[in-house]
Amino acid sequence: MLKKKVKKKLEKIVGSENFLDSQQDLIVYSYDATPDYQAIPDAVIKPKDTQDVSEIVKVCNEYKVPIVPRGSATNLCAGTTPLEGGLVMVFNHMKDILEIDEENLTVTVQPGLITLDMIKAVEEKGLFYPPDPSSMKISTIAGNINECSGGLRGLKYGVTRDYVIGLEFVMPNGDVVKTGGKLAKDVAGYDLTRLMVGSEGTLGIITEATLKLIPIPETKKTMLALYDSLEAAGNTVSKIISNRIIPATLEFLDQPTIQVVEDFAKIGLPTEAGAILLIEQDGPAEVVERDIERMAEICNETGALSVQVAATPEEGESLTSARRSALSALARLKPTTILEDATVPRSKIAEMVREIETIAERNNVRICTFGHAGDGNLHPTCMTDARDKEEMHRVETAFEEIFAKAIELGGTITGEHGVGVMKSPYLSWKVGEAGVDAMYGIKQAFDPNNIMNPGKIFAKDTRKRVVVQQ
Amino acid sequence: MTVMNRKRKKQIVNDFQTKMDYDELLNCMRCGFCLPSCPTYIETDGNEAASPRGRIALMKAVVDGKMEPDKDFEDQLSLCLGCRACEPACPSGVKYGHLLEEARDILESKKKHSPPVKLLRRVVFDQLFPHQNRMRKLSGLMWFYQKSGIQKVARATNMTKIAGKNMSTMEKVLPPIPSPARLKNRPSFVKAEGAVKKKVAFFSGCLMDTMFMQTNDATLYLLKKANCEVVIPQTQNCCGALHAHSGEKDTAKELAKKNIEAFEDGEFDYIISNAGGCGALLVEYDHLLKDESEWKERAQAFSNKVRDITEILYEVGLPDMELNSQIVTYQDSCHLRNVMRTAAAPRKLLQLIKGVSYMEMKDADQCCGSAGTYNIIEQEMSMQILDHKMRNVESTKAATIVTANPGCLLQMKLGIEREGKKDNMRAVHIVDLLAEAVRKKEEEKQTV
């Protein structure tokens, strides 16, 4: 519960219509897309501008009230769950495109803007913003920045961090900081822009962002290759990359995933195939043509059962948008769907896939795998039931083993979903105690009162996994 | 809305815990893919509580004992249009419509209405819609109202305005009601014009067979022209959709059973509906009766046969059609699109008409705000949605807005009336437009 005085001060800043604390409001801002995490905040607040944000933060810092900045709550590591109560800050009133600069090829936006709305707006001007997380239809730009979201085009074009060139953010003491700008080069001091990208709302509140755009590729072609196993598909991936071809998209799906996606999208996916690879190349027509042809050959050489090129761009689009539904479609199978995003160097993809299968078998759990094969970012997804405590324990063990294997292969515990609460017990596995200490030092320097999204990234206990906090 | 006392709250929680499908609630993995499809989420500028994900979380919170069912909760469920646009958008396949229906049924059964509302509900839900002869009588009265000059007097003396702005506009957009003699004399069989291509049964509906009788006649005319042999079982009655969506599930079940019986005999391939709202319940009779073992299979057999008229006409093929040159746009019926999953057939049919240039409107798949009785109960939100809809209609420059459900049709007419566009814009049911186009071409051939 917030003190009456605090509530009054906050209401004064945003107006009572933008301060919500009815039972209903608290329930619907108590979760994100992470299964089994739910925590009731004390209030929900909707700032109108940077000034509002700064004033709110000052009040919270004074009274030590936690703040959780929330976009559309599509988060998959419980990063936007208000575990320690406090304020959930939503950006419904801050969602404009401030400027599309066609001379510098940049776009400047407010935090609450929906990713896809921005992508569409810049594409109308012949410009391209590549990061395309599966949730882009509903995710917000600041949510993407805070998690450093990836997407299907990450292999060729990189991820959110590669496109954020300037930020305005509010420090936990209320100061407003501006970093970077419409600049290709800028080494004036520490790179605070990069520090903020992927900081999961633990260092400050992003209130404006300037993003780099590139010219939109002239053409695009999509291709589907069928395999009898995921491992065979994995071999093709390694071979494509070692042949010095970087496709725009290189995604794979295993059989159960193909089936549920087809159930939802009904676009005629080959449900009998053991695995499929979804390959896309974009660029000048002749390059696209040549690469697609060569990749088709490689598919055939490495054991593809068949290879089909989409006849039209619409057909290609329906394939990629079906792929984006994979995680949610898997939720059809069991009440609880737990997704991880362990990532390995792309040359190790086939080995990692094989290991996931062994781990699932050993722990007697059902794991489906899909993901961004081209950049080694896997999405092993476990279908389970949170009410079955014994099975949940086995699921936990299986994921621990997957993380351990990924790290052993030179990989990481999370490629694009963030640490949040879900992976905080494993952070030191990846970055070491010294790494965690360095990060914690930064956290303390920015946020000595620990008001910004507390309980995220840094775990109380390493290794022992936190599950089910219902 | 009534204020909830403690006893009622306790009863509601208890019913939520025993009746709500918890697996279905858990099936929502909260990915948020439904949000952009939800009209009330959009219209409230992104209020999570007014979204499908939010409403499911609220229902679950009541079951989990995390939240007391209060007036906010009841209002929030009432604000939902029940358009079910979130269902095709949901990769997890959550049956939101079923959850909503169950929740509303629980809230309704525990609710104490004020005496006038109670009386009105009993008259409408128990005494009127379930009885086709009474529907005919009511229509007869309305016919008398329109023909006798009372309508003119009522309008001139502003009597209609006393009923509220919406009702008075609604009164203006009602179609001309057929005379009692015509209402009584309905066909039970229609022969195909040529060699029989398909044998079908026609679900004539309660409102459709009275107030919108002209549309039913056009439907039968088109089926005949498409060489379908049509039987119209005489013992059928109202589909029960209005009841099911208003928390009157028991009556809906009774009506469903009568319809299943009425359509059980006879040789036909399909049961044809020409109203998206009815069709969507007909295809879900199996769900409605899922707990009644002796009906489950019979309901399944019934539901499997139900098709929208446009699906059949597109499949079987219509004679050549022509209309005066005009721009036409189509407003989806939510339940036709989201539950029956019919979206392509009506569009394709319209594009077959010579003279028609078809313009798809922005967000045609979004609810028009009619939503059964929604435009009366949640007037403010309904009109906000309608006004946005009319902007999208305008930018197509269409002279004709086509719909596939009587509720949507009246709502679009209301929109035209509100915009003062009556002289250069019209709203029609798709079968009326198709019939007009077939007839025109035929007349042309005869004069040549």
* B35 → closest Cβ in A27, A138, A264: A138
Question: What is the Cα–Cα distance from B90 to B95, expressed in whole angstroms?
Answer: 9
What's the pLDDT tens digit per position in A422-455?
999 999 999 999 999 999 999 999 999 999 999 9
Angle between helices A389-408 and A349-362 (to 10 degrees): 150
What's the pLDDT tens digit per position in B301-329?
999 999 999 999 999 999 999 999 999 99
Start and end residues for every CATH 3.40.462.40 domain found in chain A: 219-417
Angle between helices B213-225 and B309-316 (to 10 degrees): 20
Q: Does domain A1-216 have CATH number 3.30.465.10?
A: yes
* A23 → closest Cβ in B27, B45, B70: B70
What's the pLDDT tens digit per position in A2-60?
999 999 999 999 999 999 999 999 999 999 999 889 999 999 999 999 999 999 999 99
Which 3 state secondary structure label does DSSP give A310?
coil
Q: Does domain B6-109 have CATH number 3.50.30.30?
A: no
* B32 → closest Cβ in A138, A260, A261: A138
- Alpha-carbon distances, residue B133 vs A365, B187, B255 (angstroms): 60, 15, 15
Average pLDDT over residues B37-41: 97
A contacts of B29 (beta carbons < 8 Å): 33, 35, 327-328, 331, 337
Structure tokens at A299: 């598919």
φ, ψ dihedrals at A337, nearest 5°: -120, 115
A466 versus A438: which is more confidently predicted? Answer: A438
∠ CA A411-A415-A421 to the nearest 5 degrees?
110
Question: What is the Cα–Cα distance from A196 to A453, expressed in whole angstroms?
Answer: 14
Contact A328 B76 (CB under 8 A): no
The pTM assigned to this predicted structure is 0.91
Buried b (16+ CB within 10 A) or exposed e, B97-118: bbbbbbbbbbbeebbeeeeeee
> Phi-psi category of A418—alpha, beta or left, where left has phi over 0 and alpha has psi -120 to 50?
left
Start and end residues for every CATH 3.30.465.10 domain found in chain A: 1-216
CB pairs under 8 A between A and B: 94
Cα A431–chain centre separation: 20
* B46 → closest Cβ in A23, A92, A331: A92
pLDDT of residue A465 exceeding 70: no
Question: What is the Cα–Cα distance from B335 to B278, expressed in whole angstroms?
Answer: 8
**Among residues A252, A205, A231, which one has the least CA distance to residue A91?**
A205
Structure tokens at A67: 């703040």
Task: Spell out the CATH class of A219-417.
Answer: alpha beta
DSSP state of B291: T
Q: What is the largest CA-CA distance in chain B?
A: 76
∠ CA A310-A262-B405 to the nearest 5 degrees?
100
Unique residue bearing structure tokens 């896309």: A280
Residues of A with CB under 8 A from a CB of B: 22-25, 27-33, 35, 40, 72-74, 90, 92, 114, 135, 137-138, 260-261, 263-264, 325-329, 331-332, 335-337, 386
B182 versus B88: which is more confidently predicted? Answer: B88
What's the pLDDT tens digit per position in B357-408?
999 999 999 999 998 888 888 889 999 999 999 999 999 999 999 999 999 9
Contact B33 A328 (CB under 8 A): yes
What's the pLDDT tens digit per position in A347-390?
898 899 999 999 999 999 999 999 999 899 999 999 999 889 99
Which residue in chain B is spatially nearest to A387 when comparing CA positions? Answer: B26
Start and end residues for every CATH 3.40.50 domain found in chain B: 320-447
Architecture label for domain B320-447: 3-Layer(aba) Sandwich (3.40)
- Alpha-carbon distances, residue A37 vs A67, A77, A393, A466, A468 (angstroms): 17, 9, 16, 10, 6
* A135 → closest Cβ in B31, B92, B93: B31
A contacts of B26 (beta carbons < 8 Å): 335-336, 386
Mutation target to probe the B interface, by most B beta carbons within 10 A, among A18, A27, A262 is A27
Burial of A300 (0-12, 13-18, 19+ CB in 10 A): middle
Q: Which long-range contacts (CB under 8 A, 24 or more apart) does B392-396 make?
A: B392/B361, B392/B362, B392/B363, B392/B364, B393/B329, B393/B331, B393/B361, B393/B425, B394/B419, B395/B361, B395/B362, B396/B327, B396/B329, B396/B359, B396/B360, B396/B361
φ, ψ dihedrals at B256, nearest 5°: -60, -45
Q: Does domain B183-313 have CATH number 1.10.3470?
A: no
Q: DSSP string covering B175-208, please?
A: PPPPPHHHHH---SEE--SSS--EEEEE---TTT
Amino acid at A52: D
Nearest CA distance, B28 vs chain A (angstrom): 8
Q: What is the largest CA-CA distance in chain A?
A: 71
What's the pLDDT tens digit per position in A78-120?
999 999 999 999 999 999 999 999 999 999 999 999 999 999 9
Start and end residues for every CATH 1.20.1050 domain found in chain B: 183-313
Structure tokens at B12: 């509601």
Question: What is the Cα–Cα distance from A427 to A198, expressed in whole angstroms?
Answer: 14
3-state secondary structure B49-75: HHCHHHHHHHHHHHHCCCCCCCHHHHH
Question: What is the Cα–Cα distance from A380 to B207, expressed in whole angstroms?
Answer: 52
Contact B30 A40 (CB under 8 A): no
Mutation target to probe the B interface, by most B beta carbons within 10 A, among A90, A257, A328 is A328
Question: What is the Cα–Cα distance from A331 to A347, expressed in whole angstroms?
Answer: 30
